[in-house]
């Protein structure tokens, strides 16, 4: 500043007297306040993934009664350790969750100077100049003033908005910056991959196991990520239950400190970049014109054996080329047609023009690693949607080891193993990703990875996908039976989280047999797919005969009507043909199974029991042609020979009816009898259901009426 804060005068007795220059002191204190307002948001931004406002607002540099300090110097850096849970507020003491954020070197030096020199000097100046300053009770706190006391989140939001408005042109508050920073963190190579396994004595609501039919979680240990911990939205685990090393700040253990320090370093590196390369998957320019992709499209050239980027030469000199330089999308239409025959046999062909066009389009989707294309494909049940993810994997497997990985997300656990088995039978390198998968399997890059919807939104799977993405291996994500994101989300809340599938930056392909035009707008809004292209085939199956069998209300009228329908269908059944009886409850399912002399398939059975029941029915063991089932058997079952589908009462909705009836007629020449047996009583009802639920139910009601 270049100004003296006090002047020296002769006291008249031979001694010297020092007098404050009040104007200079006021100016200096104003400068110090400005410095503090700049340090406040800088500390919040540079520490790492931002926590909630009160964490940074209540920093202390010395202990007070029952509240320990949370600023330390560790390994040459200033580290801020907070103890906060969203559900508990500021807990104080040693309970709750410890979160560490390291400051970069320059900011660390400034923080040390601020605490060691500036804060004590400020207190001296206030006393000598007679200017009111913060009360002595506020001495431990970092951010404070005489006017405001301890600074709150509102001040931080104001300063953060000023900084972000100048630097990026958008005024971000604490809340909005927190959301932006979470997504920014996903762009940093290697950040989300760093993880620690927490063997907790007590876990929160995420300590769950999977529901056997839907895959919804109940109670099972989870993996927590240091990145998410910094954001204070990880597991709610009581750290006080463990033996700890008291030599580390706030009893935070060495492994945790090391991980927090590393992710803070990656964050500092990210913020300091000026070239725009933040670890995102880059695709050097390569101009190729094919029938699938428009000429001039820039793509990454890839060595499928070494998994390295091959940078195009900057000169026109001939350069040696790797053995494979094309991604899956570089297959021509002729090559795709030939690949289909190699996978399924020489007599194989496209079932419909929409299936063919869908495959061509999928192979040509641009993968720019940031905001890639989205595609919706609607084919009828039995229309061959699984070809869309199996054929690219099959053709890539023919090329050899290494290269692109595709992920298939399915809504029900029961569908996963069926897809994995079918893929492996075709010679495709395919694996099921489960929460309890071992570490070696987690690190394997299978050509095709199948995962249930519930597991797909878990932190463990997110880290797995991120590890593929940052190495440039993530090629496509498929969401099979995607209509469930709007039809089933009422009782499957985690299906709604699949909206986040787009965040990985690769092409997203959404597949379904039941997306009525009346529901398309809802679906697009839910999946953030307003701009997605759509390929839609007629979903009415000409080989299915629909009818409604009305019976008079009575004690056993429905059961008698179902048994009469079974006998009528059995009259034309061959020994290899099968039928399904769909029931509206587990109790009804078991009663109908006993009446029809068949086995029941429902969610109260164990996974192994359901698989055994299903296999006995498929194989016809004990002469069983029929199976009684709840709606869990209504999606994704691909079994030949089903020619009878009976509904005991009105189905839940039109989408469910089409899906369940679509289990039949999978073999050429099969004609399916689809019968709804009803006594005229109302079916499923829920006055609090969503608009989608009401449209779905009204649709099946109109079908029954006429």
Least confident piece of the model among 256-270, 437-451, 564-578: 437-451
More confident residue, 22 or 193: 22
3-state secondary structure of 676: strand
* Average pLDDT value for residue range 103-130: 93
SS3 content of the chain, % helix, strand, coil (to 5): 40, 15, 45
Confidence of residue 250 (pLDDT cuts 50, 70, 90): low
Q: Which two tokens stand for residue 308?
A: 């390295």
Please state which of the ranges 83-92, 340-349, 354-363, 544-553 shows the lowest mean pLDDT.
83-92
182 exposed, middle or buried (CB, 10 Å; 0-12, 13-18, 19+)?
Answer: middle
Query: d(Cα 125, Cα 341) in Å, to the nearest integer?
Result: 86
Question: Is pLDDT of 301 > 60?
Answer: no
Query: How much is the pLDDT for 226?
Result: 55
pLDDT band at 344 (very low <50, low <70, confident <90, very high): very high
Which tokens sit at 579? 């039928």
User: Look-up: residue for tokens 């972000």?
Assistant: 164
Cα angle value 471/473/475 (rounded, 5°) = 140
More confident residue, 587 or 329: 587
Find tokens 């760093």 and name the residue: 194
- 627-659: per-residue pLDDT in tens? 999 877 766 566 788 889 999 988 887 777 877
pLDDT at residue 437 above 90?
no
Long-range pairs, 586-591, Cβ under 8 A, ≥24 = 586/630, 588/648, 589/628, 589/629, 589/630, 590/628, 591/559
* pLDDT, mean of residues 165-170: 87
What integer pLDDT is reported at residue 253 of this predicted model?
64
- pLDDT at residue 558 is higher than 50: yes
For residue 316, how many other CB atoms are within 10 A of its CB?
Answer: 6
Closest CA to 458 of 276, 654, 224, 636: 224
Give the pLDDT score at 143: 94
pLDDT of the residue at 249: 60
Q: Average pLDDT in the 115-135 region? A: 91
User: What pLDDT is recorded for position 206?
Assistant: 39
Token digits for 147?
A: 């006017």
Q: And the tokens for 164?
A: 């972000």
Task: Say what the pLDDT of residue 274 is.
Answer: 61
d(CA 497, CA 115): 44
Domains contained in the chain, CATH given: 24-272 (no CATH), 332-536 (3.40.50.300), 544-705 (3.40.50.300)
- Residue 393 has a pLDDT of 93
Q: In this predicted structure, which of 110-114, 322-326, 567-571 has the lowest mean pLDDT?
A: 322-326
pLDDT of residue 21: 84
Between 155-169, 291-305, 369-383, the lowest mean confidence (pLDDT) is in 291-305
Helix (H) or strand (E) holding 674: strand 672-678
Highest-scoring range by mean pLDDT, 293-302, 410-419, 688-697: 410-419
User: CA-to-CA distance for 357 and 187, rounded, in angstroms?
Assistant: 33
Q: What is the pLDDT of residue 563?
A: 94
CA distance 583 to 646: 9
Confidence of residue 595 (pLDDT cuts 50, 70, 90): very high
Residue 80 has pLDDT above 80, yes or no: yes
- Torsion over CA of 122, 125, 127 and 133, rounded to 10 degrees? -40
Strands (DSSP E) along 371-452, which ranges? 374-378, 405-410, 430-432, 448-452
Q: What's residue 569's pLDDT?
A: 92
Alpha-helix runs per DSSP H in 169-217 = 174-185
Q: What is the mean pLDDT of residues 525-553?
A: 86
Mean pLDDT calculated for residue range 232-244: 41
CB 644 within 8 A of CB 569: yes
Percent of residues, the chain, with pLDDT higher than 70: 73
565-588 pLDDT tens trace: 999 999 888 888 999 999 988 999
Give the containing element (helix H, strand E) for 267: helix 254-272
pLDDT score recorded for residue 212: 42
Higher pLDDT, 109 or 221: 109
Task: Summarize the confidence of residues 257-262 as an average pLDDT.
Answer: 79
Higher pLDDT pick, 541 / 448: 448
Q: CA 494, CA 57: separation in Å to the nearest integer?
A: 34
Torsion angle defined by CA atoms of residues 438, 443, 446 and 451, in that order, rounded to the nearest 10 degrees: 50
Q: Which residues neighbour 590 within 8 Å (Cβ) at sequence distance 6 or greater?
A: 600, 602, 628
Q: Mean pLDDT, to the nearest integer, of 176-203?
A: 56
pLDDT at position 88: 45
Q: Which residue has the higher pLDDT, 690 or 9?
A: 9
Nearest to 370 by CA among 286, 282, 449: 282
At residue 674, does pLDDT exceed 70? yes
Query: What is Dmax (Cα atoms) for the chain?
Result: 127
Tell whether the model's pLDDT for residue 298 goes beyond 50: no
**Alpha carbon 519 to chain centroid distance?**
23
State yes or no: pLDDT of 112 exceeds 90.
yes
Backbone angles phi, psi at 120, to 5 degrees: -65, -40
Please say if the pLDDT value at position 238 is more than 50.
no
d(CA 352, CA 334): 17
Tell me what the mean pLDDT of segment 313-322 comes to: 37
**Six-digit token pair at 346?**
């020489």
Per the structure block, which two tokens stand in for 568?
């009528």
At residue 92, does pLDDT exceed 70? no
In terms of Cα–Cα distance, which of 442, 445, 497 is closest to 195?
442
pTM: 0.54
DSSP 501-566: GGGG-S-EEEEES---HHHHHHHHHHTT-TT-EEEE-----TTEEEEEEE----SSHHHHHHHHHH
d(CA 292, CA 248): 58
The confidence score (pLDDT) of residue 180 equals: 82
Q: Which range has highest mean pLDDT (13-17, 263-267, 348-352)?
A: 348-352
Q: Which residue has the tokens 């959404």?
A: 510
Nearest of 649, 677, 644 to residue 549 by alpha carbon: 677
Mean residue pLDDT of the chain comes to 77
Structural tokens at position 301: 């050239």
pLDDT of residue 639: 77
CA distances from 94 to 70, 238, 258 (A): 12, 10, 20
pLDDT, one tens digit per residue, over 9-26 is 776 777 777 778 888 889
Listed range (134-143, 214-223, 287-296) with the worst mean pLDDT: 287-296
- Higher local confidence (pLDDT), 515 or 681: 515
429-438 mean pLDDT: 82
| Cα 47 from Cα 177, distance rounded (Å) | 14
Lowest mean pLDDT among 51-65, 139-153, 219-233, 430-444: 219-233
Q: How far is CA 469 from CA 267, 281, 326, 562, in A?
A: 18, 7, 18, 52
Q: What is the distance between the alpha carbons of residues 478 and 388, in angstroms, rounded to a whole number?
A: 9
Write out the two tokens for 700: 């099946």
Is 50 exceeded by the pLDDT of residue 412? yes
Residue with tokens 């709750």: 96
| 45-73 b/e (C-beta count within 10 Å ≥ 16 → b) | bbbbbbbbbebbbbbbbeeeeeebbbbbe
The predicted model gives 274-302 an average pLDDT of 37
Per-residue pLDDT, averaged over 332-354, amounts to: 93
Average pLDDT over residues 449-475: 87
Rg (CA), the chain: 32
How many residues make up the chain in this entry?
706
The yes-or-no verdict on residue 243 having pLDDT over 60 is no
Q: Please list the residues that pair with 77 across neighbouring strands.
A: 74
Percent of the chain whose predicted confidence (pLDDT) is above 90 = 30
Sign of CA dihedral 318, 324, 326, 327: negative
pLDDT for 522 equals 86
- What's the 3-state SS for 139-151? CCECCEECCCEEC
pLDDT at 693: 67
């Amino acid at each position: 500043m270049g100004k003296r804060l006090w002047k020296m005068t002769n006291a008249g007795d031979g001694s010297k007297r020092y007098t404050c220059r009040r104007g200079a002191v006021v100016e200096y204190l104003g400068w110090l306040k400005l410095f503090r307002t700049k340090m406040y948001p800088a500390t919040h931004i540079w520490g790492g993934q931002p926590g909630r406002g009160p964490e940074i607002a209540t920093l202390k540099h010395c202990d007070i009664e029952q509240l320990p300090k949370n600023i330390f110097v560790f390994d040459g850096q200033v580290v801020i350790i907070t103890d906060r849970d969203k559900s508990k507020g500021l807990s104080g003491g040693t309970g709750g969750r410890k979160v560490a954020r390291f400051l970069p070197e320059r900011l660390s030096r400034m923080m040390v100077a601020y605490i060691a020199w500036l804060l004590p000097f400020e207190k001296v100046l206030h006393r000598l100049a007679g200017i009111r300053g913060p009360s002595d009770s506020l001495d431990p706190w970092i951010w404070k003033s005489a006017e405001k006391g301890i600074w709150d989140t509102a001040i931080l939001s104001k300063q953060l908005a000023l900084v972000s408005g100048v630097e990026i042109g958008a005024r971000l508050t604490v809340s909005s910056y927190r959301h932006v920073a979470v997504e920014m963190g996903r762009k940093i190579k290697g950040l989300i991959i760093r993880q620690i396994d927490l063997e907790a004595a007590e876990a929160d609501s995420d300590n769950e196991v999977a529901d056997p039919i839907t895959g919804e979680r109940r109670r099972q240990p989870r993996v927590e990520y240091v990145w998410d911990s910094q954001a204070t939205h990880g597991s709610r685990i009581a750290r006080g239950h463990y033996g700890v090393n008291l030599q580390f700040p706030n009893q935070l253990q060495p492994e945790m400190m090391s991980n927090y320090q590393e992710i803070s370093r990656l964050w500092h590196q990210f913020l300091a970049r000026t070239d725009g390369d933040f670890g995102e998957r880059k695709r050097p320019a390569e101009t190729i014109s094919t029938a699938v992709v428009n000429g001039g499209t820039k793509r990454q050239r890839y060595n499928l054996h070494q998994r390295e980027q091959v940078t195009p030469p900057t000169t026109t000199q001939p350069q040696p080329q790797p053995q494979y330089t094309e991604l899956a999308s570089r297959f021509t239409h002729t090559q795709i047609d030939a690949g289909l025959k190699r996978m399924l046999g020489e007599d194989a062909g496209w079932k419909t023009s929409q299936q063919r066009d869908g495959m061509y389009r999928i192979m040509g989707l641009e993968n720019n690693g940031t905001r890639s294309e989205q595609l919706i494909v609607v084919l009828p049940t039995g229309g061959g949607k699984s070809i869309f993810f199996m054929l690219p994997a099959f053709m890539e497997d023919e090329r050899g080891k290494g290269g692109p990985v595709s992920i298939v997300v399915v809504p029900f656990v029961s569908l996963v193993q069926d897809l994995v088995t079918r893929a492996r039978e075709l010679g495709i390198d395919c694996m099921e990703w489960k929460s309890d998968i071992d570490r070696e399997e987690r690190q394997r890059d299978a050509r095709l990875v199948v995962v249930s919807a519930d597991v797909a939104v878990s932190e463990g799977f997110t880290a797995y996908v991120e590890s593929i993405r940052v190495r440039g291996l993530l090629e496509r994500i498929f969401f099979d039976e995607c209509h469930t994101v709007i039809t089933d989300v009422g009782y499957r809340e985690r299906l709604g989280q699949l909206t986040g599938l787009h965040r990985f930056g690769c092409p997203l392909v959404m597949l379904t047999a039941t997306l009525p035009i009346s529901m398309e707008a809802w679906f697009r809004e839910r999946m953030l797919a307003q701009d997605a292209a759509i390929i839609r085939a007629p979903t009415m199956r000409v080989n299915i005969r629909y009818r409604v069998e009305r019976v008079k209300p009575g004690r056993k009228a429905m059961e008698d009507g179902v048994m009469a329908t079974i006998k009528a269908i059995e009259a034309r059944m061959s020994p290899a043909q099968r039928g399904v009886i769909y029931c509206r409850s587990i109790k009804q399912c078991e009663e109908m199974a006993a009446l029809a002399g068949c086995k029941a398939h429902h969610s109260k059975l164990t996974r192994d029991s359901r698989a055994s029941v299903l296999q006995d029915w498929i194989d016809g063991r004990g002469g069983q042609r029929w199976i009684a089932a709840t709606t869990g058997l209504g999606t994704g079952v691909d079994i030949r020979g089903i020619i009878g589908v009976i509904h005991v009462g009105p189905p839940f909705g039109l989408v469910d009816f089409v899906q369940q009836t679509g289990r039949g007629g999978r073999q050429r020449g099969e004609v399916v009898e689809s019968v709804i047996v009803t006594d005229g009583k109302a079916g499923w009802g829920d006055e609090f259901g969503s608009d989608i639920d009401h449209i779905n139910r009204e649709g099946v009601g109109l079908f029954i009426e006429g």
